[in-house]
Amino acid sequence: MGMPGGSEWILIFIVVLLLFGGKKIPELMKGLGSGIREFNNAKNDVKDKIREGMEEPKEPKKTSDDK
């Protein structure tokens, strides 16, 4: 089962258009775009935290009490 071809995409588009109407599709795409953006931001935050955790810990600064 591979990716849909050209005729399948046209059929999918027609079904979506009939179900949601022309005015709702831009709203749906806007919501989908913001959801993808939030997902990517969360994914990048997790990657950054993992990289920070993998870095070697920095030596604590010595104070005058430490000898």
> Do 25 and 17 form a contact (C-beta atoms < 8 A)?
yes
- The CA-based angle 39-49-42, given to 5 degrees, is 10
Q: What is the pLDDT of residue 30?
A: 93
Distance CA 44, CA 53 (A): 14
Global pTM value: 0.54
Q: What is the pLDDT of residue 1?
A: 65
For tokens 């997902």, name the residue. Answer: 39
Q: How far is the CA of 28 from the CAs of 5, 11, 20, 32, in angstroms?
A: 23, 18, 9, 6
Q: What is the pLDDT of residue 64?
A: 67
Mean pLDDT by 10 residues, the chain (67 residues): 82 87 85 96 95 78 64
Q: What is the pLDDT of residue 65?
A: 64
Q: What is the pLDDT of residue 47?
A: 95
